[in-house]
Amino acid sequence: MKTAEIMQRLAAKHPGEAEYLQAVEEVLNSIEEVYNQHPEFEKAQIIERMVEPDRIFTFRVTWVDDKGQVQTNLGYRVQFNSAIGPYKGGLRFHKAVTPSMLKFLGFEQTFKNALTTLPMGGGKGGSDFDPVGKSDAEIMRFCQAFMLELWRCIGPDQDIPAGDVGVGGREIGFLNGMYQKLSRQYHTGVLTGKGMTLGGSVLRPEATGFGALYFTQHVLHTAGKDIKGCRVALSGFGNVAWGAAIKATQLGAKVVAISGPDGVCEIKDGITQEMIDYMLVMRASNRNKVQDMADKFPAQAQFTAGKKAWSVKCDIALPCAFQNELSEDDAKELVKNGTWCCCEVSNMGCQPGAIHYFQSQKGFLFAPGKAVNAGGVATSGLEMTQNAEHISWDEKEVDERLHTIMRSIHEQCVTYGKQADGTIDYVKGANIAGFMKVATAMLEQGII
């Protein structure tokens, strides 16, 4: 296979689907060499089959806002690949959601889930519904209307959605309630990221951030470094950034920046527990303004409008917000300011130019989202196991399992990403490891 030829065909077939094409190209570039060493992959047209989702559901979601006005949004579920297990992946509620965005996320999810060691296929869904400024009652009505359509596409052995940007425990609760009402099925295993009273797993809310920091620790240790005392800049202030801030602080690092669409908060002395707790209040308010942190803690946090977290001096940059949030110019600014490590916590958080720039800097440590943030979906997998067994593990058990999974993901990256000079190309490592598992499973299932 030749990446350029495949990309040309895909771009002609799916014009304007920029994020999807970007995600596919990144994976194909990494795996081309390995793929071409396996004629059986080519014979079974593995790549041609793997880059297209199994199916996409699109539906209209109509609901009534607090003023009594009727609102209409679009809802989607992309069932990408089920070779290694039922479709698994989050729901994103964001005004910019398009089929292209969900296809890129579903494609990434397929490889990420393969890396977790658990039997989960890849899927993603969501809506162009914008939660910003919505009341709790509006969020509830939207979630209920969304589930009126989604419930027929999902099931505990078929497709198990969870949260993503704009969808947290509150939304999952509303979605779960409506699913049970419609299906008259009261099992707990059709959505993950549930609250503890609904059969959720301890540590699931923290898991993406915790897992990311465990992975970052492995990256640092392998390079002979320690996270203790490092300055960490995070983007975003949602669920993922919150978990990352807790664990980074616990491990002795100093979180010196969080950011939002409105700008950045610099926290010179490092984020405190009180401020971390306040991130949850900020998320629940649906205001989407990081300035609220500086207003609440004026002595500790300094807000600058229109700036990104990457303008703050740090050792480690952790993008935790949205795809393509870190550009090549941002990468240059970070390196100029002394940053030597970037672990993507958001899905495809760095633009291709930023990744190339980081990788061109001798000694710079870069790791991609599908490895770094896999602790979230891995803990969703642990939630599914607990639900299936009708039991609930304690924090120690879940944390140990999360540790084991993140260690295994790191080992897979090392196995497939070790370079001749002894350094590790984590992008290559993660992509090849995930690809080999999914491709092998597809081969074993025959042509379907």
User: Given the rule CB under 6 A, which residues bind ligand GLU?
Assistant: 88-90, 109, 162, 164, 192-193, 347, 373, 376-377, 380
Nearer Cβ to ligand GLU, position 282 or 345?
A: 345
The two structure tokens encoding residue 148: 């009126």
Could you confirm whether 124 is annotated as catalytic? yes
Nearest distance from C-beta of residue 347 to ligand GLU, angstroms: 5
Q: Which residues share a beta bridge with 350?
A: 326
Which amino acid, residue 342? Answer: C
Task: Please name which of 212, 211, 202, 218 lies closest in space to residue 234, comparing C-alpha atoms.
Answer: 212
Q: Minimum distance between the CB of residue 232 and ligand GLU, rounded to whole angstroms?
A: 21
**Least gap, CB of 183 to ligand GLU (angstroms):** 19
Q: Looking at 124, 134, 247, 437, which residue is catalytic?
A: 124
Q: What angle do CA 371, 258, 206 make, to 5 degrees?
A: 50
CB of 242 to ligand GLU, least distance (A): 14
Q: Give the number of residues written for the chain.
A: 448
Of the pair 322, 416, the CB lying nearest ligand GLU is at 322
Nearest approach in angstroms of CB 375 to ligand GLU is: 9
Query: Sheet containing 231-234: which strands, arranged edge to edge?
Result: 302-305, 263-266, 254-260, 231-234, 316-318, 341-343, 365-367
Distance CA 193, CA 260 (A): 23
* Distance, CA of 155 to CA of 50 (rounded, Å): 23
- Round to whole Å and give the CA distance between 124 and 109: 8
Tokens representing residue 414 in the block: 């090392």
98's CB contacts (< 8 A; 6+ apart) are 128
Q: Which is nearer to ligand GLU, 23 or 162 (CB)?
A: 162
Query: What sign for the dihedral angle of Cα 82, 83, 85, 91?
Result: negative
Residue nearer to ligand GLU on the CB measure, 260 or 381: 381
Which is nearer to ligand GLU, 122 or 417 (by Cβ)? 122
Minimum CB–partner distance for residue 163 and ligand GLU (Å): 6
Closer Cβ to ligand GLU, 193 or 429, answer by number: 193
- Quick one: which H or E segment has residue 123? strand 121-127
The distance of closest approach from Cβ of residue 225 to ligand GLU in the complex, given in angstroms and rounded to an integer, is: 27
Three-state DSSP class for 241? Answer: helix
Burial 139-157 (b: 16+ CB within 10 A, else e): bbbbbbbbbbbbbebbbbe
Q: How far apart are CA 331 and CA 418, in angstroms?
A: 23
120/331 with CB nearer ligand GLU? 120
Q: Which residue lies nearest ligand GLU, judged by its C-beta?
A: 90
Residues labelled as active-site residues: 124
